[in-house]
Amino acid sequence: MKLVFATHNDHKLKEVQQLLPKSIALLSLKDIKCFDEIPETGATLEENAKIKADYVTKTYGLDCFSDDTGLLVDALNGQPGVYSARYAGEQKSAKDNMAKLLTELKGANNRSAYFKTVVHLNLQGESYTFEGVVEGEITINAHGNGGFGYDPIFKPNGFDKTFGELPADTKNAISHRGRAIQKLVGFLKKKAS
């Protein structure tokens, strides 16, 4: 089975490739010669994931899935949420985003937050949605160089290390994206059998 993953993010692509069975040939946007910046104009993670998958399916006629992920911080009323990637501006700098978030949480007692990933799949003319959530807290400082995005400042519940410090296989097993992709993989395995 061939599936396009609608992302230009090489970190995400690598993370998802590690989670998919070898029977699924994962194509990137580069592989299909799609260099367009697909606009994420949705008001929710679900809408953005659907927009990206629909763009690829309609433009290229290919089965496709895409995801959108947000970090939702309780003390900030769920922000940055759908704007997580461009929280500190359109340059989409992870370093700037983390700095802004840590500044806004300075002195906050409640540092609880959760990551949410929504995966939208277009397969053989049908659409499906899968969701993954991981709860945790925002640390006071960044720790670790692993992962990407907010990983160095997010410590999942039950762990004493941030996503930036955890080994990739541990993170993938418990992360929001890992959980959503596991649901996608389970669904695809059922479809294939």
| Residues 68, 118 contacting (CB under 8 angstroms) | yes
How far is Cα 117 from Cα 181, in angstroms, rounded to an integer? 9
| Strand pairing class (112-123; 64-73) | antiparallel
How many Å is the Cα radius of gyration of the chain? 17
User: In this structure, which amino acid lies at residue 91?
Assistant: Q
For the chain, the farthest-separated pair of C-alpha atoms sits apart, in whole angstroms, at 53
Q: What's the N-to-C CA distance of the chain in angstroms?
A: 12
* CA 155/CA 73 separation, integer angstroms: 13
Q: Give catalytic residues, as residue numbers.
A: 68
Q: ω before 80 within 30° of 0 (cis)?
A: yes
Strand partners, 146: none
Angstrom distance (rounded) from CA 193 to CA 188: 9
Within a 10 A sphere around the Cβ of 83, how many other Cβ atoms? 13
